Amino acid sequence: MRLVTEIIRPIEGITVHIVPTDKFKTLTFAVQFRGRLKRETVTKRALLAYVLKSATAKSPSTQLLQQRLDDLYGASLTSQIHKRGEDHILSFLLHTAGDRFLSETSTLAADSLELLAEAILAPHAKDGAFDEETVNKEKRALRQRLESIIDDKMQYANIRLIDEMCRGEAYALHTYGYKEDLEAISPVDLYDYYQQMIKEDEIDLYVIGDVDPDRIVGIIEKAFAFRGRQPVAHPFRFVPVEVGAPKTIRESHDVEQGKLNLGYRTNIVIGDPLYYAAQVFNGLFGGFPHSKLFMNVREKASLAYYAASRYDSYKGLILVMSGIEFSNFDKTVAIIRQQLESVQSGDFDDVAVDQTKALLKNAVLEALDSPFSLIEQLYRSVLVKSADDLDRWLTEIDRVSRDDIVRVAQQTVLDTIYFLHGKEGDPHGNPTV
């Protein structure tokens, strides 16, 4: 049984993916731009995420554009930026209520798609430059966002770990760019980069909802007049990294709780024969509440409220995060390292493996119930040009053996420990090392 029906059609140098389904009360459209992560372009790309959704030639202010969206039954136009291995993905999403629940408005799908196309292809710009006022406003919005990252200590610690661990690799570049690069971007520079992106990025458009595919294709062909596209292919690439002795980085902030992050390299990425085993290994190690990290750091030792790991399958990393008392640094690091060693030596039971497989499969199936996570899942196979569909994914997870899991664990090497702790003389104690 195929779990998802996806109709794929190339149109005007972009790829259109349509999933007709009546299970949602909404229509969801997403346009994904794929380019390489580069220091020269990350900040421009992030700024485009802000500028394009804030005004169009026809609705030249945020307020006017927002009024049109509100009139489309509160349609939302948002942008997102993600890092996938060495790729920088910029997405524009339009999400709206489905036509069939709103008696008077059968043109909602067409109106929404046209508005999305307008934001991307008919921006508020003239004579080769974006409108200066719009650019300045959105520079401020992006700057505020970049400045506030440090106030979210969990997110900040995650970013700092990657900064230190992957220094010099494209992957270490910040998804939302750099404050120091922002000011110098002129409305002309940004427009030049925008034109390059429209011409050269690989572009995928997703449509999820109760739609007639032929009708939607007709609307897209008319609305999305991409011309003269010359997409530059970005085949998925991964360069394994040798790990030396683990680094320990400490940083002091005005906080009550220490944030402890550990970065491991598996050098196993999506497409690798051990990819599915790496998923199971991560689940066993720290992905779920039955996992070793939760059981030992939280339940047994009472050291933390959260202790979990995440597998970045585009970069082959396992990232552990926890929040602890400053004085418990040594103890917690030792317990986390022991958990990896126990998997390396095969010290885990079959029940835990079965639990992990059950939850991994569950997570993949659950993702089909939200249009956003569905798009993310489908887009994964575009990014890595893999023929593995969801059905295959489910069978492969089941096939993972104990030996495979041990092999992944043995290939998993600690690269960097990052610890954000309090100031000197803080009542909660100081790190002991």
Partner 1 sequence: MEIQRFDRLQETVYREVLPNGLTVCVLPKKGFQRTYATFATKYGSIDNHFKSLTSKNWVRVPDGIAHFLEHKLFEQPDGTDVFHAFSRQGAEANAYTTFTRTTYLFSSTANVEKNVETLIDFVQTPAFTDQSVEKEKGIIGQEIRMYNDTPDWRVYFGLIENMYHAHPVKIDIAGTIESIAQITKESLYECYHTFYHPGNMVLFIVGPVDPERMIHLVAENQARKNYTKQAPVERRYPEEPAGVAKAKSVLKMGVETPKSMVGFKAARVHRSGQDYLKHELSVQILLELLFGKSSDNYRRLIDEKLIDESFSFEYTEEHEYGFSAIGGNTEDPDRLAARLFEMIMAQKERPIPEEALERARKKRLGSFLKALNSPEYIANQYTRYLFNGANLFDIVAVLEDLRAEELEAVLHEHFDERAFTQCQVVRRA
Find the binding residues for partner 1 in span 285-314 (CB under 8 A).
288-290, 294-295, 298-299, 302-306
Return the amino acid letter for 228.
Answer: G
Closest approach of partner 1 to the CB of residue 75, in Å: 7
206-245 footprint of partner 1 as x/- string (CB under 8 A): ----------------------------------------
Query: Which residues in 122-161 contact partner 1 (CB under 8 A)?
Result: 137, 140-141, 144-145, 147-148, 150-153
Query: Which residues in 356-395 contact partner 1 (CB under 8 A)?
Result: 356, 358-359, 361-363, 365-366, 368-371
Question: Is residue 330 close enough to count as binding partner 1 by CB under 8 A?
Answer: no
In what helix (H) or strand (E) does residue 71 lie, and over which residues does it extend? helix 62-71
Range in contact with partner 1 (rule: CB under 8 A) among 6-14, 65-73, 163-171, 269-277: 65-73
SS3 call for 52: helix
Closest approach of partner 1 to the CB of residue 229, in Å: 31
Distance between CA atoms of residues 109 and 176, nearest Å: 31
For residue 65, give every residue at least 6 positions away whose Cβ sits within 8 Å of its Cβ, in sequence order, or none.
54, 55, 56, 59, 77, 119
Residue 9 vs 290, nearer CB to partner 1: 290
Question: Is residue 26 close enough to count as binding partner 1 by CB under 8 A?
Answer: yes
Residue 212 vs 221, nearer CB to partner 1: 212
Residue 19 vs 220, nearer CB to partner 1: 19
Closest approach of partner 1 to the CB of residue 289, in Å: 4
Q: Looking at residue 431, what DSSP letter applies?
A: -
In what helix (H) or strand (E) does residue 91 lie, and over which residues does it extend? strand 87-97
SS3 call for 16: strand
403-432 footprint of partner 1 as x/- string (CB under 8 A): ------------------------------
Distance between CA atoms of residues 189 and 44, nearest Å: 9
Distance between CA atoms of residues 123 and 144, nearest Å: 23
The token pair that represents 328 in the structure block = 């418990």
Q: Looking at residue 151, what DSSP letter applies?
A: G
Closest approach of partner 1 to the CB of residue 222, in Å: 25
Distance between CA atoms of residues 319 and 308, nearest Å: 8
34-53 footprint of partner 1 as x/- string (CB under 8 A): --------------------
Closest approach of partner 1 to the CB of residue 74, in Å: 3
CB-count exposure of residue 401 (10 Å: 0-12, 13-18, 19+) = exposed
